[in-house]
Every structure is written in structure tokens, then in C-alpha cells.
A and B are shown apart, each in its own frame.
Chain A
Amino acid sequence: MDRQQDFLKHFLKHQDDLRAFIGSIVRDRHACDDILQEVALVLWQKFDAYDPNRSFGGWARGIAANKIMQSFAKSKRVPVPLSPETIQAVLGAFDEPAPEASEEQEALRRCLGKLPERSRDLIRLRYEESLKLREMAERVAATLDAVHKALSRIRTSLRACVEQELGTG
């Protein structure tokens, strides 16, 4: 019981970040969720071998990276656009200290609230309705390039806002 509670405590704390790491490499949302599930299981199975002095997040991400490579090797259905060395580099970047997930989520919520409505609409189309860019372009009757540039600017703004909120800017 204790062991399981312990695991859950660690896992839940890092779940979001783990999903972020996997999602940054595996762009297909469903595939990303699948892999996250599989990784969760492996982590649990291997929890006995986990060294508490080590960062749980780092350990979990390492396992996730392997899982990603495995999935890609098994079925090309999970496209992995980045090479193994690059994934290592990304791993390294994720290892660096980052704000607490819940804090970042809160900051993001506040920053989303500050967006003008039309920007929020675009964000919603992309992240809530999960539209592809071509579908978004259709929906708002704009060019794909225009939509992309708008989304890029909004993301940049949001990032700056979040960093400001967290005092890490």
C-alpha cells in the first residue's frame, strides 16, 4: 500500500510534465496518450528499481524516451520526427529546472484570460477543438500562413506573460 501511494505521489506530480515531454516528440495526441499510459505502467513495474535520490522526472523521461523509440520501431503509426541524438538533447533540456507544473498551469490560465477574444478563439480552435491548421484557415477564412503567424505570436505572448507571472522572465 505504502509503495503504491508513494508511486502515485511521484507519478501524479510529474504526469503533466511527462505528457509535455512525450507530446513534444510524438505530435499525434492519441499516440501520445497511449504512450503515456504505457510509460505509467512501466514506471510502476520498475518502481522497485527507482533510486529515490535521483530525480523521478528525469528517470521517467528516460523511460519515456525509450518507449517512444520502441513504438516507432514497432509501428510506423507513431511518427517520430526527431533523431535519437536530438531526443537526448531534448531530454537534457527537460532535465533543467522548470517551474512547478501546477504553478505554470495557473499562470497560463491567468494569461489566457488576458488575451483579446479573437486570440482566445484561435487558441480554442487549435487546442480545444484540435483543428489542423488547414481546417482553422477554412474556418476563419484566412490563409494558412496568416493563421500560423497569428498562433505563433499568441504563443510567444503567452510564454512571455507566463514567465512574467512566474517571475522567471
Chain B
Amino acid sequence: MNDVSRAEELIQKYLDDIASAEELTELDQLLRRDRDAARLFARLGRMDSRLYGYFNACRARLGLAAEMAKENDPLNIDALRARWLWGRFLDHLWGPTGAILLHMLLLVVLIKFTMMNTTKPEAPAVQVVMEAEAPEHFDEFEKELAPFDEIPQEVPTVTPPESLFLAEKPAEADVQAPGNETDTKIDFAALNMDDSTKSALTMKGLYAGRTGGGRADALADYGGAWGRYTEMSVVRALEWLRKNQGTDGSWGPNKIAMTGLGLLTFLAHGETTSSDKYGQTVEKALRFLLTQQDEKGVFAQSSGQEGSDPAVYAHGIATYAVSEAYGLTRIPSLKPVMERAVQAILDGQQTAGGWNYRFSKTARRDTSVSGWMIQALKSALIAGAENSGIREALEKASADLKSAQNMETGRFGYTDPNTGSLGCTGIGVLCLQLLGHGAEKEARDGLQALREAKVEWDPARENAWPLYEWYYITQAKFHHGGQTWSSWNAEFARVYVKQQNEDGSWPAASKWESSYGPVYSTTLAALTLQVYYRMLPTYKPQVTRPEMRTNDVEIRVY
């Protein structure tokens, strides 16, 4: 019946208090003339009330009294208190109903009676001792994956956002004094955190999207139909990361690299050391990284990993994370840490502009390694690192990347043009975009080659690093925008959201990646899902709806 489905729609809006005046009138008329609509209203109204009651069973009146008192409600406070006691008794009769309680209740009934008959109600003379309330606990039931709330298979139409989002209020400076392990020379507690987080500087420019309002805007602008689901995924991942952080602030098993990725994931969300919920997590991660920097400025694992191939990745990722952290928090003591790490990267660059394992200056250059070095340098540059030669280094790096591209296929190679892979193409394109060359032929050819990229989650597949690749490919396509972006977004966002584990982590997408552990897959997946707001797209015109804008945004790539 058409009326009933329209009634359901209106009732749902009514329950969420978002029905417009016209809709209310329409609902009013519907309820009056259609019996079934009225029945539906009663059923949904009951459930709405039960839901509210479920969470507020014994607290409703307490909350009421407290809030009213806070807000200086014009109601007489004494009358309120009287009603409050009355209400609490009624509530408590659901629990133990000893005769004593009943007696007390009746006493109050009589007292209440007398009170209500006077013109000015007074607080009851009887002080009643209440039994301790048993808080409402959620029982642990077997959680079957319910058939409801599946991710819809067909893409719903996107409706423009209706409300003005308020920009996220900066958190109060809430840095705890350093604990016992003050080997690090960083004194977070002494810093003027207040200024830094309220400063528009930290969230302007490329990172402007990382505030609450910025994220909402970005998701609305670039998220397509999936923007509404991805953010909850991200938040759950943050929670999982927080819960699984080591006591020393690290994540593993490759502590430096994973902690770097973890830190980047929180920073991407705009979380800093003074965030309400994740301030501790961010701070502990930062502290850990700082303990891992050696006297040469390199973030190196002290446990015999030195000299082994993956170590250079750890340094790149950690430098990237620390630079971004400095960029967002402006903690002064992070600057020298960043600059020393940057110097190691600059010193390790080959003459032709590339990088290799162990910063070796042989003929072998490695696109994957370069990818992290470039991101680190770029991030440090934006943050204000004052090492000389960063820009030149980045220019040389661009040239080096271009030299690894295959003229015919457009793919970038792992080590040279003949070892082309989609992942390395993603790295190549993204880096060129970040370095200001996104409009040039090489990047465009690379994007062309990326059309073949597909999002396939296959934990049994060998010889593949899909999460790693998609991390880059997604960003590359994002910065390009247009149809390239929207069709990729529709694909990757859906798969990622669907593949997330119940606990907020992600499983590996291939056999080889599974050996890196859940932090690897979770951070890469979460970072990829934060693409919408992690960085403002450098090459598309801003989608402007001036009345919706919550942040002053000025994009400056350099």
C-alpha cells in the first residue's frame, strides 16, 4: 500500500526529528485517515521508546535532574528533586520488591501527595536510602551475522549533504607528564600544545581535510556512494590499532615500519597528541619512534636488522610519519629529529636521483624504496624542514622515476623500464603528482596503464602485494579525479569495507602480505580508505559549495 510505505518514510524522519513542516503536515493527515499508518506509527513509536528506555532505564531521571540543574531550567529545582525521587522509586520497583521498599514508596507517595497540594513544593523531609542501581549491562549474546545491515550491492543515489557541519573543536591540551621512560629528550608536557592545535596553520593547505568538518566535506565531495560507509570502517580500525598498541607505544612485528604506518594512520585522521580519544596513542607511538633513531639520524632497528634489506623502508616510513607529526603538532623538539632523519635520506640519494636498499650507491635503484623517501621528503618540506637541498633532491627523484618508465606500456618499473608493475606505476604516478608533475605526459601515461588495475582480494595469491599497490594506485587516481577516480572508488571502497574484520582489523589480501601481520594490512587499508581527506587533491579544482565550507583552504603544493 503506497500510503503505508510513504507513512513509514515519514515516520522514520519524524523519529529522527528531521521531518520538515510540510512532511509533518503530510504525516499528520496520513495518520488520521489511514488505519495501517497509525498502527505502524504505534509500532515504531513503541520501539523507539524501548530503545531509549533500554539505554536509560535507571538513569533517565538522574540525567534529567542533573541536566536541568545545569541548564538553569526555569522549573523550580525543589519540585524537580521531588519528582526525581518519585521517579527513582518507580524505577526501582522493577528490581527487588521487598516489603520495605514498597513501604518507603508509599511513604513517598503520601508525601508527594501533600507536596503537590501546596502551592510551592518543598523537598521531602524523608531522606530515602536507595539501593545501588545495577547499571544496565549488555549481555553477551552469540553474534550471528545478521541478514540485515548488509552492505548494499547496488549503489544508492547520492544526495547532497543537508546540514552545515561544524568544524571539529580543538581538544583541550591534555598531555600527560612523561612517564618513567624518559630516555627521550622530548618533554611533551612542557609544550604549548594549546596554541599548536588551535592554530589554523596545522590544518591548512594540504592537510586541511583532516578536521572533523574537513573530513565530512571531503567524504561528501569525493566519496561517492561509499563515502557514507568508509568512515565508520576507518574509525573502527583506529580503535583496533589503539587497543593493539604495545605498551612501549609500538606496533609489530617490524616495529619501526609498523609504528610508522600506525602513526600515519592516526595523523591522517587529524589525530594529534592532544586528541581526546587518541592523544595517548599518538604520543606513545611518537615516543617509541624517537627512541629508535640512532646517532646518524637513521631510524634503525637495533635488534640485528641492521644491514638487512627492509631496514631502509623502516627509515622512510618513520621519517614520513615523524615529519607529518611535526607538521600537524608543531612540537618544537620534533624538528631536529625530522631534520636528522631527512639528512640521512638526502645523503643516501644516488647521483641519478634514486634510492636503494641500505642507501647503497650502486647502479640499482628501487622504485618502491624511492616511493617512501619521496613521501618523507615531501612531507618534511611541507612541515618546514630546513635541510638544504630538499627541493633539488625531489627534482632529481622525479627524473629518476621517469627513467624507470616503459615508453610503450606506460608502466613504471620496479628497478627499470622492463620490470613494470601496476604497483610501481601507482608509486610513480603518485610521486610525480606530489612533486608537481602530475599533468605531464609521464604521469598521464602511467594513469593510462593503471586502467588495468583491479581490486581482487585473494588471500591465497602469491607473488603479489595488493594492499601495498592499492595504497598507491588509489591515491594516484584520487589526485587525478574525474571518471578515473569515481569508478575506482566505487570498486575499492566497497571491497575494503566489506573485507574488514569484525574487530576493525583487515585480513591480508595475498599470501605474501599475510606474513607481515595484521597491523600491516590494517594500516594500509585504513590509510587507503582515508584517501578522501588525507590530502587535498592537488590537481582538481576545488568542489566549491561556499555555504558548506568549514575550513579555509588554500592549496599550495609548494
Contact = CB atoms under 8 A, between A and B. Distances in A.
B148 A24 contact: no
Contact of B48 (A1, A23, A82): A23
Interface residues of B, number: 84
Given A83-B28, A132-B17, A155-B44, A40 B49 contact: no
Contacts of B227: 142-143, 146
Contact of B145 (A105, A113, A116, A124): A116
Interface string A77-92: 0000111011001101
A118 B501 CA distance: 12
Interface string A1-35: 10011001001100111011101100101100110
Contact of B50 (A34, A108, A113, A161): A108
Contacts of B106: 1, 4
A23 B143 CA distance: 30
A127 B149 contact: no
Given A33-B61, A86-B32, A109 B42 contact: no
Given A133-B17, A141-B231, A142-B216, A119 B12 contact: no
A62 to B, nearest CB: 15
A157 interface: yes
B64 A30 contact: yes
Interface string A130-152: 10111001101111111011111
Per DSSP, chain A at the interface is: helix
A104 B160 CA distance: 37
Interface stretch (A50-58, A63-71, A93-101): A93-101
A133 B18 contact: yes
B159 A143 contact: yes
B53 interface: yes
Contacts of A19: 49, 53
Given A8-B93, A137-B165, A116 B144 contact: no
Given A30-B68, A90-B38, A153-B149, A23 B54 contact: no
Contacts of B39: 93, 96
A83 B27 CA distance: 10
B28 to A, nearest CB: 5
17 contacts: A12-B93, A20-B49, A27-B14, A44-B109, A81-B14, A92-B35, A109-B139, A110-B141, A118-B236, A140-B235, A142-B227, A144-B162, A155-B12, A158-B47, A159-B47, A160-B148, A161-B146
Give 10 nearest A-B pairs by CB, closest first: A24-B45, A157-B148, A113-B141, A146-B228, A20-B49, A128-B55, A93-B42, A93-B38, A143-B161, A152-B12
Given A30-B64, A93-B38, A143-B227, 18 more contacts: A12-B94, A21-B45, A24-B49, A27-B17, A34-B83, A37-B87, A82-B27, A96-B39, A98-B42, A112-B138, A115-B146, A119-B149, A123-B51, A137-B165, A142-B216, A142-B219, A143-B163, A158-B51
